[in-house]
Structure 1
Amino acid sequence: MVTKTLPRWIYSSLGNILLNRRYPKISDQSKYLILHAFSRRNSGDGLLVDLTLEAMADAGIGGAEIEILALDPDSFDDDPPVHRAPGEPFAQFTPKLAGAVFELLANQLGSGQVAKRVANAKGLVAVGGGYLVADSFVRQAGVLLNHLAQLRTAARAPIPSIYLPQSVGPLHGPVGQSVKRNLNKVSLFCARDDLTMAEIGGDNIIRCADLAVLKLARTADIVADRKLHAGAPIVVGRDLPHPGDYIERLKNLGQSLSKPLWAVQADVAGDRSDRAFYQRNGLSDDGTLAAMLADGTGGAVVSVRLHGAIASLIAGRPAIHLAYERKGWGAYEDLGLGEYVHDAREFDVALVADQMAQLGQDPTAFWDCITNAAPKLRAQYVGLVDELRRYLL
């Protein structure tokens, strides 16, 4: 299928580079366009899309008024309509990378597939996340090919553009500088941690917690939903760049826990799959985290994936986070759970195992932290919805 559609993509992009013209509008009915969606094969990314749609609905924008631009559109259903974004979602060498290169060239002249979609939109909303990281050659290439055309188009669009809570950076090299420069040009940029606030700066930036953190704070009856999950502990691991002692520590943690369940959050193609990560390191996965949370399997959770931890909290499970980027510390500090977030590459195995045992026996103090943080977070969400309404309606 890719080999049939690629030439049309290439020729279309080349034509726009040579002619320096914009695409015509898709239809006469303008819609709001959600940018930077990734894939539902990663439940954390799918959750952020759902929470973006929920926030827009709370602002008065229904699904019939929305379209989505996603790197892996085949993983979504068609409500709202989902279109393919330029790029390769699974860091593999496929013909999609050639299309992304031509898209960048066309985008430099204000043309291309993204410009075509944006030309017919009446407002742009970027999903929350942590995808704009440019601290190595590989990650700079990922931002360049998968996201820069969308960001650059949003920055120069004559319509409102809002970037929902993001952790951005570190930003190195020319790609990093381009990200910073363009983020300072969007209508509103929401930073979900203090390091991002400091690195991006600008008059258009506000501090706002992660969408999933805000969802947790709005979950009805946080106190009433406290549960003593005395089942087997759940561990959510993942591959990390520059792991150091991470894998050894993670295996030692598994041995320190009582018959842990190894859960998969991201089941995607290639090395980014949690299942593939377990197989490479001699671990056997016990199914998806989503299924465990849904059917009540297992107990407290320790997750390397941030949204694996937060999804567990939303489902009523106490969860420890082994953070590998600034977004993890920002989210857990916003929840008042600073003592339950640890550096994934340097965490104390015995300390985390002790915390998991305590949570399995009595999680009251843990939930008290969230209960105390919830009023401020609920107020943040009201403010965020007000900003969406003010800019987009």
Structure 2
Amino acid sequence: MNRYDALYRLYDEFDADTLREYQELADVFPAIGSRVALDQWKEVRDELDRRKTAIRDAFPVGETFAAIAANASREEAFTALDLLGKYDRAVNVLVLDVDETLRSAGRTDNEIPRETLSLLTKLHEDGMPLVICTGQTLENVKGFITQGLGNELVHSERFSIVYEAGNGVFTPGHGSETKRLLYDDLDPEVRGMFDEIRSRVLPEAPERVHQYCHLQGNEFTVTLKPNFQTGSDRAVEVIDEALVYLLDLLGDALDGATGEQVRVHYAASDPEIRGILERGPGVPDAEVPDDVRERLERLEVGYYEGDAAELGSYELDKVAGVEAALDVLDIEEPFSLVMGDSKSDLRVMEWAAAEDAGIAAAPNHASEVVLDHVLETDELVFERDGAASMLRMVYALDRLAGLE
């Protein structure tokens, strides 16, 4: 019996939905507290084992199929099998954005859902390395990740954090390689310019930007964040103004350049920035000298509606961070699941596609360009707060890949 026929039989003949409910109860709500709770948990475990045993007895590879049915829906299992047919590889590392991917401020009080944490722990215990890839500071992300996943996992030597969108990589347990500050390798002229802009960005800001924005505490990237709820009308308004100010400040700080030239350059390279300028002060009619253009092509100005206006370096992006993390983790032939929602995540997805190094998944509220990429590749789009569905799919994929 081939794998497709076996999966059809598995989900047609057995109540996999109820089996997964028992598995989730056993995983997410372990036995704690009173004797009554312990007895109830034991009843769940006994029923779970009974249902799994029925599957074990029905298939030559029953243990594998029992595990798949207990952890993946019919759709997730068949998606996994389709991916296996396309790539003939199991996923061997997870590369995961945090905000609006693993967690969402919209419906989970900005916490990673318990089911997602449980599945990450389960996959990691099975040997899967985890790379958290975020724009946040190391201190911030390390704190809530350790709280959610536990100190043992974080210090397992199979866990890494790419922080501040690629400025640094933290991989506990790897000696001198534990913390890599990638911006140390940048040209001193570039670093000096960033230091100047960071020192000037708030003191010289227009009144509304100065009053209603704060500077995110990164070690390198200059990021202006709103003092309003992310995505609100007031946040959109002040970040639009902050973007224009940041472009003009860059023009003033970059020797031989002007604010008008900087506006022209980034308007040509990013339609969203062009739209902000067209609705605001306009796109100047200015020529950009080749030497200025060459220097600007090393610098990234990022715009995230109602969330951030940011200046960074193309030499320090999430791709550079992920490559450094994989190097420290000694993963020579990665085939990753890359999950994210923003343009910075898109670069990692495009890198994975170009290098045959993985597949991409995104929430349905991701940036349009991210969704375009995901839909053009493997159509792995999930609901808000639904990252667990992609992890269940990976769980099934890796077990199916282990079958002859």
Scaled by the length of structure 1, the TM-score of the pair is 0.32
User: Which of structures 1 and 2 has the larger relative contact order (alpha carbons within 8 angstroms, sep 6+)?
Assistant: 2
Q: Which has the larger radius of gyration?
A: 2
Scaled by the length of structure 2, the TM-score of the pair is 0.31
Q: Which has the higher helix share?
A: 2
